[in-house]
Each structure stands twice: as structure tokens, then as C-alpha cells.
A and B are shown apart, each in its own frame.
Chain A
């Protein structure tokens, strides 16, 4: 039985599109993950910003009348959730 030498060039030519598709698919996944992460960070950051502003307004009087420094309680997870991009 005679072995025939396989022609590589056509294979390469026909596989190039698939390779690009694979890379594109992978990069798109990464881009979308980044976009999703950015969106999560955006929402988290702005929610905290609004929450902090509300708490600041609520604590104005206390802060002005207290001899000690008045700080916002950021341990309250309901009001200040930690940044969890892929979680809830």
C-alpha cells in the first residue's frame, strides 16, 4: 500500500476561516465578559454613589453635632453590597 503525501496547503486554506471564527468567537466572549463586568461595576459604583449621598444627607445633623467623626456604616450588606461581578 502506497502512502500518499497529504497536501497541506489546501487544508490550511480551508481551515483559516475556522481559525478566525474560533478566535473571533473567543475574543467576542472575552469582550462580552468585559462588557458585562464593566456594566456590573458601573451599576455597583453608581448605586454606592447614590447610597452614600443619601446617607451623607441623613447624617448631616449628627455629624455636625457629634464631637467624634461620624462615618457611614458600610458593613451593612443590604445597603452596601460588595462588588461581585459574576454573582447575584
Chain B
């Protein structure tokens, strides 16, 4: 029978010398062509469906991510009073001006008897004016300042007037202890006219003294009370802001956002038919002998692992934040601000001495009273980087470092646990692997690592400038130090050489050296004044030290990022990877995998900044990382299905599965968001 079929349908029948079976063979060939066309269409349709599905999942996952991030941004935006920042002006200006105005009013009232009875009202009015003036200066509410100032003024006025009354009483008592006024009034015998005059004078004197003591005591007490109340109010306000910041920042962490996206992707794309016994009752129905999808086990292990690395992440973060970062910040701060040493002199009197840091520059900070080594040389040689208008100027670098210090302090105010769970976000301010690349809007991505690299470049330019400036100087005219017998001090006798036995710089006479000048006995040295001390070499050495410190800090930043990443090493091998995450399975068709990847999205958060002096202080809570144009908020999915797979039935090969298709489909969805919008983007 099989032989008959073969004879009938064989392709050999198409040969001319075969008498039968030609038509049936031809028809069968046609049917084969039609079947191929049908299968091609079905395969194309299936591919189209898979692609569409992946596109939809990529889109809805990226939108889901953007929506979550936007919701977080929006909640902070609302909490900040429908704004991306909320600033609170404060300080002591209102209190200060109110107290000053009130005291002036009280003094005027004290010396103008007509006004004395109205002291409380006048002091209150003056305090109100002072409070309002202070508020206007500090930028706080004028009405609030006036009310606060009025209360302070009234308190002071009341205190002073009460003090005057009690002082008067005290004066009477004091006077009475010397001469009994009752005796005087009664015209007691033995009381002379002189005693009466003396009594009057003493009485007036004691009364005035007592009144003054009472007034001062009462006024001080009133002022202290009012000031204390204002202090408490200020502290409450700061506490309220701090509490609001804590509340705002206590939101889901970075990992949770990423994993929720992965779950969304896997749940829509994984079609793994494999099942495991639910020994851990992962589905929570109380049954441990039923079967659950294998994916659930994978997911459970992954999340357990992610939770397990949190303590390690916190430990590394704590070491970095309170160790490396703190040390570098302190180092830079000291080099900018200098140090003040308190000691006791020979007579036991306290004495302070100021030592400038290498970056200290008079005028850049209030407490800096002396230029540091670099500023001294830059000013003395009038170098290019002394001009604040030039790129990489000393002032520009100092300002940049001050901003860095502010940002570090803002980060240090955040709980370590929260930093550790959001390290991928904040570390990018310090070290971003994408630094130098352009964003969609043309801005260049930067970080402190890159910025410090630029700073090192500027510092090297400074060194070159210093060396160039030094080389252009005239040579110092050296001499030997001699002691003048006329008591005019030390003299410097020119020795006619570049190096003398007892070196000094000739500061007078026909051979007087011009300054600044360079030493010929060193390659780099020189001085800015007639003191033989070398100012140029230390400046160059200081810059070398600073460059070294910056390099060490850069290495530490990189190491921190590496250590944090390495903490997830096990997840790369056993749990599908951190990001991207891959889930693989094998079924009757072969091996499949879904790889899900999420961009380097940033979580909106708040930072608190403080600016101004004690008199006029502004505390701001600013929202950062609250929007993205799709550069970081994207999702990519790659599906890998079997390709060129030999499909068999027993030992018989039925053909190849996906012989022409690579088996890989990749789709990416990008979404933009801010606190008020979400959408897909290209």
C-alpha cells in the first residue's frame, strides 16, 4: 500500500515517460505551496501578536513606572504647598529690632517724665515697629513681626515700669535704714536741718539707685522672657519643618519601585507552564502540597535575597557617609575656613590664634582674617586665577567647594537606612557612569567625580601659573644677617652672591632687593616680602596635597559604588540579575527567557538647605529629581524564544522551529513625567 502511495505521489511521476500519477502529484505540490503560505501567514501573525504584546507591556510598564514616580513627586509637591520648594524666612531680626526699639522707647520714657506713665503702651508701639522692621528685613510676615514685636515691647515696658515702682519701694527701704523718715516727719528732736537735707539727698539717691536696679532687673527679665518665647517658637517651627521633611521622605525605596516594574513585566510576558510544590505556602492559602507556578518560587527567592542585603548596604553606606565623605568635607572646610586654636597665655588669659587653610581667602568667609598659602601667592604675584571673573578662579573653586559642603551636609542629615535603600539615586550626584553624555535636551550629565577631575585640572593650571609667575620674577638680592650695634635691629649686608652663609634679603640701601623675587638656590622658591621665608614652594606643595586628597576621594567614591554593586553579586548569578532581571524556563518548545530592564530612574526627594546669618536666616525644603524626560524612566523587555530548533516526534525529525527568525524580540518604552504630567515619549 505504501508502495502504491509512493508510486502515485512520487515527484518522478512528473517525468514525461511516466504514464500515471502526474496530476495528483501536481495537485499535491499546489497544496504544499498553499500550506506554506498559510503557515507563513500564521507565523507572521503570531510574531505580530508577540511583538504587540511586548510593545504593550513595555509601554504600560514604563507608564506605570513614570506614574509611580510622578505620584511621589506630586505628593511632595502638594506637601510643599503646590510648589517645588518651600522656604521659611526666620532668624532673630524681628526679635532683635523689637528689643532695640522697645529699649530705646523705654529709655526715652524714663528720661521724659511726661511719657513715663505711658511707658508700656509706647514700648509696645516701638516694639511693634521694630518687629515689623525686622520682619521686613528678614523677609518674614510684617504683621506677624509687628505683633511679636508689640508683645516684646509691652513686656519690656511693663517690666521696666514695674521695676521702677519696685525700685522706688526698695529705695525707700534703703533710705529708711539710714534715717527714719517718720522721725523726720514727726519733727523728732535732734534732727537737724543738715540731716534733713542729707536725708533728702540720700533718699533721692537711693530711690534713683533702687529704681535703676529694679528697672534693669525687670527689663532684663522681660526681655529674656520675650526672647525665650520667641526662641521656643523658632525651635517649634524648625521641628515642624524637620518633621515635615521626615514625613515626606519616608516613602517606598528605590528597590521597591524597580521590583514592582519587574513583576508587572513578568506577570504579563512569562508563560512558563512549569509548576512546583508550594512547600512554603507562598500563595498563602494554607495548603503546602498543591502546585504553584515555578515563577512564584523564583520571585519569592529574589525578594528574600534583596531584603537580606539591606544590612550590608547600610553598613557600607554608613562607612562612606560618616567616614570618607565626612573626612573629605572636613578637610575641605578646614582648608577654606582655617582653624582657630584656643589656648591660655603665660598669665593664664585665654588667647586664640587663627591659622588659615590653603584655600582661605579674606572676604570669602566672615571669620577669615588671613589669606592662605595659595591666595597669598595668587595675590602677591597677581596671577590669573586671582581674578574672580576667570574660569577656575580661586573664588570660583571656593564657591564650588562650599556648594559641595552644603550638599554633603544635606545628605548627612538623611537617615542611613533611607540612603542605603536609595543609594542608586544619590550616588549619581557623586559618581555617574553616564557622566559626560548628553541628555535629550542637550544638557551634559555631570557628577562630583567629573567636577573634581576638572578642579584638579584647574589646580594644575594654578601650579603652572605660579611657576611661570615665579620664573618671571627678578632674583632676590641676598645678604648676610648682621647685628647692628646702634640698636637699630638686624641689618642685611649684601654678600654679592645668590646664596649667603646667613641668608637674608637686602631690604635697604643701594642694593635693596625688589619684591616679590625668586630664590636662585631653589628651583621653585621665592618670596613676596623681605622675610626670607619661602611662600611659593609651600603653595605649590599645598596644591599637590589638595590634588592628592581629591584623587583619593575620587577613588573612594568609585570604590563605594563598586562595593554597593558587588553586594548584589549573588543576585547576578542566582536570582536573574539585579537590573536587568532575567527569568528563564524550558518547555516542550525549548528554552525561553524574558529579560526586563529599567532605566536609572531617580526618586523625588527633598533636601533642606539653610542660608543667611543668625539675624536673617532662610530655611528651604527643596524637591529634587521630580521629573524626567524619558532619559532615565524607561523599560526594555527582551524575549528570547527557541530558534532553529529541531522539532522531533520520537526519533523522527519533523522540521526546524523558527529556522529564519532569530527568536529575539526587544521592545522599549520611554515615559516622561513630572509632578503634574505623565506620558509616553519617543
| Interface presence of B569 (CB below 8 A) | no
A-B contact count (CB 8 A): 41
Please indicate the chain B residues that have their CB under 8 angstroms from the CB of A46 in the complex. Answer: 40-41, 44
Whether the Cβ atoms of A42 and B52 lie closer than 8 Å is no
B48 within 8 A of A: yes
A56-B52, A61-B681 as given contacts; A31 in contact with B44, CB under 8 Å: no
A57 CB-CB contact with B under 8 Å:
yes
Pairwise interchain contact B679-A64, C-beta atoms closer than 8 A: yes
Residues 32-75 of chain A, each 1 if its beta carbon lies under 8 Å from chain B, else 0:
00010011001001100110110011001100110000000000
Task: Report B-chain residues with C-beta under 8 Å of the C-beta of A60.
Answer: 55, 59, 669, 680
* Given A35-B30, A42-B41: A53 in contact with B680 (beta carbons within 8 A): no
Cα distance, A57 to B665, chains bound together (Å): 13
Q: Are A53 and B681 in contact (CB under 8 A)?
A: no
Inter-subunit contact A38/B37 (CB<8 Å): yes
Residues of A within 8 A of B52 (CB): 53, 56
CB of A51 to closest CB in B, whole Å: 11
**Chain B residues near A39 (CB-CB < 8 A):** 37
| Chain B CB within 8 A of A24 CB | yes
Give Cα A38 to B30, complex, Å: 11
Q: Chain B contacts of A31 at CB under 8 A?
A: 27, 30
Give the residues from 10 to 66 in chain B that come closer than 8 angstroms, CB to CB, to chain A: 23, 27, 30, 33-34, 37, 40-41, 44-45, 48, 51-52, 55, 59, 63
Contact (Cβ within 8 A) B33 A35: yes
Residues of B within 8 A of A64 (CB): 59, 63, 679-680
Prevailing SS type, chain B contact patch = helix
**A residues less than 8 Å from B681 (CB atoms):** 61
Q: Is B682 an interface residue (CB 8 A)?
A: yes
- A49–B48 alpha-carbon span in the complex (Å): 8
Contacting residues, chain A, for B669 (C-beta < 8 A): 60
Query: Which B residues touch A49, using CB under 8 A?
Result: 41, 44-45, 48
Within 8 A of A (CB), among B314-369: none
Separation in Å of the A21 CB from the closest CB of chain B? 11
**B59: which A residues are within 8 A, CB to CB?**
60, 64
Further contacts, 19 of them, CB under 8 A, given A31-B27, A56-B52, A65-B680 = A24-B23, A35-B33, A38-B37, A39-B37, A42-B40, A45-B41, A46-B40, A49-B41, A49-B44, A50-B44, A53-B51, A56-B55, A61-B680, A61-B681, A61-B682, A64-B59, A64-B63, A64-B680, A65-B679
B interface vs A, CB < 8 Å? 23, 27, 30, 33-34, 37, 40-41, 44-45, 48, 51-52, 55, 59, 63, 669, 679-682
23 examples of A-B residue contacts, CB within 8 angstroms: A24-B23, A35-B30, A35-B33, A35-B34, A38-B34, A38-B37, A39-B37, A42-B37, A42-B40, A46-B44, A49-B41, A49-B45, A53-B48, A53-B52, A56-B52, A57-B55, A60-B59, A60-B680, A61-B681, A64-B59, A64-B63, A64-B679, A65-B679
